[in-house]
Amino acid sequence: MEEIEKIQKIIENFIFDMNTWEKESERIDNDENDGLDWKQKDALIKEKVAIIINKYCTPQKRAMSAPNSIMRGLQGTYIYDPNEEKICETKIEKSNRILVYTYKEEEQYYYCYVLLKQNNEWLIDSKKSRFYQDEKWSNSYL
């Protein structure tokens, strides 16, 4: 059970860090007195999310996902919100593959984080989502 708690904490920390990044990115975008143009702001935002992705996720090419493609919410619609997204189930599929399911009640969406154990470390490999009434999971971008 200690391993499950450790894995759940990884997901909770990832959601928290991504939410912090979304808020910081919004602040960077809206700061007109920082002397940065939109390209510099974009580079800074990508640099900050790359740190999070490198910390929590498997090393793989994510062409349509962070840090290469920036998808984030704004105040009131954050993609990652530790106050809204809660872990509801954790399934061990294999000794090196675990699924962590979360749910956002307000949006009525379920998410499935796929974690792989690499070099004795658990990392997020992918994320899927589905509306609560749907049966089929769709790939989601991190």
In the chain, what's the furthest Cα-to-Cα distance?
51
Question: What tokens were used for 140?
Answer: 């989601």
Q: What would the DSSP string read from start to end of 31-49? A: -TTS---HHHHHHHHHHHH
Question: pTM for the full model?
Answer: 0.89
| Backbone phi and psi for residue 42, each to the nearest 5 degrees, phi listed first | -60, -45
Nearest to 90 by CA among 55, 106, 114: 114
Per residue of the chain (142 residues), what is the pLDDT tens digit?
688 999 999 999 999 999 999 999 999 988 888 888 889 998 999 999 999 999 999 988 766 555 555 666 667 678 899 999 999 999 999 999 999 999 998 888 999 999 999 999 999 999 999 988 888 999 888 8
